[in-house]
Structure 1
């Protein structure tokens, strides 16, 4: 506790991605020494050379962090005995059958157990079902001969990152912390209080795990609702974005959510299914969650159907044989994160129906490797020029990056299918623009 108070502790971060790297920088800003661990040797090398590895974390920030002498990255997990606190920020994906894949968590916990020493605090940040910390991580730590709460300490504190959010970052988003013994909870709270503006302690690790799931399930269900409303209102000739804007003027009882071409990112498309899976162990059904998942995963197909109809109405052409330009492969605006991006599904679906689909993305020049969309790996973004735009039969806006010249698109595209309402939002002419 004293080492945390004096900020003399060394913090270990396992996983240096969109969660772990910002957390490492927050710990560094708080005055701690930080050792980052990652299995990706290329990323580790890039970080140690102060290169920009996430588009919204500038090279100047990385250079200052490395030049401080208090941050280093390594692939050597044998050094896990060095940190006083180890924060686990590894992926928790689902399988193709939407079952939890906790292999990254269990493998990391097992690796930590081999290097564990008395007095260390381990905190799991990866989103997971309630009970994971107690049922999976704790037994692995205790298999090394330690007693959690006495010799070593264990807590759960869910990551709440919103990549690229200009208003809230790691240090300003309140941190929920839960543990199954008072000493572990107090240590974890003390650690995060040095780094984060507000810490919210809850009674158990399971309560903290459930908190994160609840946040993302709330978003998933409400996004599914407006996606369904979009389809219903479109059939009635009503603009859902106009309706949401009008409803948002009510100062109470309404919170705006917006439709889109599907869900992306690591959290909202994935996390709800961790609870549906665990609920079955208790003989419970999660019908709202599963229905929301069905609606949201169906949206790329709905969008491609709308694209095909718009092509037919505007030019008499079918989708087969057409050339389509997709705007944005990142899952959200102004970031380079393609995890679970519906844009990748859109490209595959469009091409499965006989069209050619290229893309432009100012933040993602090349599609990175993914398990689900291996055939798209290495495809590169086209240069956006008036001549290039005019060569396509349709432009499909999937991700509304601010860095795109939408006026150029509007002036040169034969047809625009807009899933983000960006043209109306910017006040651009709506001729040749179809909302979807």
Structure 2
């Protein structure tokens, strides 16, 4: 009989687990909030002291997570910038960033967490990775960097992978409303990981292979990235044909099968679409396989901010023109600027030195562009009238679109928010 397995099952059933969540970004913090609503004892770990300070004061540092959500975290939740709680934890969940560096996977955050945890993990524990990475990361990278060979996986230590499926700011599909994929190194690992997530998520989907689960996560995001890219390509054709791409999409989406609508935009942003596909491309290259669609997706979308800047150059030729960028986050209604197309556009326009660039965003107060600091301007009739050109990049719900429409001299719309007119151009 596997004593460690049965002990963990009993603790899960009784809600008497000690759970450490490592990495309190938009994935880890949300996960921690939901686990804290149970009777289990929760620990939050993050190297960023500011985040820990915010949480202890009952303040949120993510716009779609309220201060009230933070304040509701039970008193049996503890937060620290050190990893000491791992020693006493039954479950350790890694929710760490996996960015790109020089167009290659950067697992330095995960490596640092492994280094900090290596001498603190012990027999009987359940370790789960939620960070997105290339297939093999959970079994190969963690196994090596945590020195898991000292354990008997599935007997006295349990390893699993459960890909995050967060859509930041999406109220319709919150954490508990999205099916949760789980996988494990052995059957015992899989069963324990499944039972842990069933504590907070009604529908849990089991994958019998960790690599399948890792690849499925990448496929989800590659699928979206490729289709958004396809629509951006088709938009170039429809523009030449003097056809509205949004009219085309609205007609096409009436088909009840075989089609899903995707919409054009100023370029891919965030983590999922511009970064995750490169992890699969990286894995393919190591195997000698060419991931042509993925590489093309990156190539096409990386050029879109440049194409928008070229349109602006053609429309606004005079020196010292004032240009206002509306929305600088990578998607509407969040305060996340990672890989944002707006930032790339601002950098391109700033290099021209003929424009004065400003921005307005209800979620971002300040930006650093090179050595310059830009501050968000509050929209009004007077402010809008003072600009030679207004460019909508991120269509936040908080914008007053009627005000923008009536008071913009030239309005370039990358989101299809406005009907085309004499002064409104869809780009």
Shorter-normalised TM-score: what interval? over 0.9
Classify the secondary structure of the residue corresponding to 2:104. Answer: coil
The answer on 1:432 being equivalent to 2:427 is no
Classify the secondary structure of the residue corresponding to 1:107. Answer: helix
| Corresponding position of 1:190 | 195
Take 2:379 and 2:30, find their aligned partners in 1: how far apart are those partners? 31
Report the alpha carbon displacement of residue 111 of structure 1 after superposing the two structures with TM: 1.7
CA 1:143–1:166 in 2, change beyond 3 Å: closer, same or farther? closer
Query: More deviation in 178-187 or 212-221?
Result: 178-187
| Corresponding position of 1:41 | 49
Alignment match of 2:305 (pick from 300, 308, 312): 300
| Corresponding position of 1:95 | 101
Query: More deviation in 138-147 or 116-125?
Result: 138-147
1:294-326 deviation digits (Å, cap 9, x = unpaired): 111111111112222333xxxxx34x5321100
CA contact 2:123–2:157 (8 Å) conserved in 1? yes
| Corresponding position of 2:335 | 336
TM-score, normalized by length of structure 2?
0.95
CA contact 1:114–1:144 (8 Å) conserved in 2? no
Report the alpha carbon displacement of residue 144 of structure 1 after superposing the two structures with TM: 7.5
Take 1:244 and 1:31, find their aligned partners in 2: how far apart are those partners? 48
1:79-103 deviation digits (Å, cap 9, x = unpaired): 221221111011000113x111111
CA contact 1:41–1:75 (8 Å) conserved in 2? yes
The answer on 1:392 being equivalent to 2:387 is yes
| Corresponding position of 1:77 | 83
Structure 2 unpaired stretches of 5+: 1-8
CA 1:144–1:264 in 2, change beyond 3 Å: closer, same or farther? same
| Corresponding position of 1:407 | 402
Take 1:403 and 1:410, find their aligned partners in 2: how far apart are those partners? 14
Moved over 6 A (4+): none
| Corresponding position of 2:376 | 381
Alignment match of 2:164 (pick from 159, 167, 171): 159
Matched ranges for 1:126-275 at <5 A: 126-142=131-147, 145-275=150-280
The answer on 1:364 being equivalent to 2:359 is no
Classify the secondary structure of the residue corresponding to 1:288. Answer: helix
CA 1:431–1:402 in 2, change beyond 3 Å: closer, same or farther? farther
The answer on 1:3 being equivalent to 2:11 is yes
The answer on 1:120 being equivalent to 2:125 is yes
CA 1:204–1:274 in 2, change beyond 3 Å: closer, same or farther? same
Query: RMSD of aligned C-alpha atoms?
Result: 1.5
Report the alpha carbon displacement of residue 142 of structure 1 after superposing the two structures with TM: 3.2
Take 2:281 and 2:370, find their aligned partners in 1: how far apart are those partners? 28
| Corresponding position of 1:321 | 320
| Corresponding position of 2:418 | 423
CA contact 2:95–2:129 (8 Å) conserved in 1? yes
Query: More deviation in 332-341 or 108-117?
Result: 108-117
Classify the secondary structure of the residue corresponding to 1:72. Answer: strand
Take 2:32 and 2:413, find their aligned partners in 1: how far apart are those partners? 38
Take 1:432 and 1:403, find their aligned partners in 2: how far apart are those partners? 22
The answer on 1:23 being equivalent to 2:31 is yes
CA contact 1:310–1:434 (8 Å) conserved in 2? no
Take 1:31 and 1:246, find their aligned partners in 2: how far apart are those partners? 51
CA contact 2:20–2:85 (8 Å) conserved in 1? no
CA 1:40–1:297 in 2, change beyond 3 Å: closer, same or farther? same
| Corresponding position of 1:314 | none
Report the alpha carbon displacement of residue 432 of structure 1 after superposing the two structures with TM: 1.1
Take 1:423 and 1:13, find their aligned partners in 2: how far apart are those partners? 43
Classify the secondary structure of the residue corresponding to 2:101. Answer: coil
1:87-140 deviation digits (Å, cap 9, x = unpaired): 1011000113x1111111122122222100111111110000000011110123
TM-score, normalized by length of structure 1?
0.93
Report the alpha carbon displacement of residue 374 of structure 1 after superposing the two structures with TM: 5.5
